[in-house]
């Protein structure tokens, strides 16, 4: 018969909990969390149809073309009423199913539009504020 000292087991469990709680912690104030945005092409439609991002914060864009054998691309342009659109970003066109990841520098506040150069009806409204 094995005899256990339960007080030693309890002390070890408490120490493990305290050490685990001390590792990590919140990020220092002022540090921006990385922003990742995913846009999927599915059924000749972009999902989601609308996105909101903070101004001036770089983000990672994950473009997931789920339409087998159908080419899609992504272009990002400004969308200000009465002003011709200015292209901000242009991704390559490729057939699905496949995906690409792009690092986009922070952009200034305003309305933008992601569109597919192959299928102009595919759009994602982007509000940067």
The model's pLDDT over 58-99, given as tens digits with 9 standing for 90+, comes to 999 999 999 999 999 999 999 999 999 999 999 999 999 999
Side by side, the strands of the sheet bearing 35-41 are: 46-47, 35-41, 59-65, 98-104
Task: Please report the pLDDT score of residue 92 as a whole number.
Answer: 95
Give residue 97's domain range: 34-128
Q: What is the pLDDT of residue 32?
A: 58
Q: What is the pTM of this model?
A: 0.73
In a domain, residue 20? The reply is: no
- The answer as to whether 10 is a domain residue is no
**What CATH number does residue 72 fall under?**
2.60.40.420
Residue 56 domain-assigned (yes or no): yes
Query: Is residue 105 scored above 50 in pLDDT?
Result: yes
114: Cα separation from own chain's centroid: 14
At 79, give phi and psi (nearest 5°): -145, 70
């Amino acid at each position: 018969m094995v005899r256990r000292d339960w007080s030693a087991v309890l002390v070890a469990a408490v120490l493990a909990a305290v050490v685990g709680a001390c590792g990590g912690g919140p990020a220092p104030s002022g540090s921006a969390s990385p922003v990742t945005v995913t846009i999927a092409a599915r059924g000749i439609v972009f999902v989601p149809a609308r996105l909101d991002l903070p101004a001036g914060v770089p983000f990672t864009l994950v473009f997931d073309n789920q339409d087998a054998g159908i080419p899609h691309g992504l272009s990002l342009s400004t969308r200000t009423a009465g002003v011709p659109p200015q292209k901000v970003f242009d991704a390559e066109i490729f057939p699905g199913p496949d995906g690409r990841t792009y690092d986009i520098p922070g952009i200034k506040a305003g309305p933008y539009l992601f569109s597919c150069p192959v299928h102009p009806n595919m759009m994602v409204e982007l509000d940067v504020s």
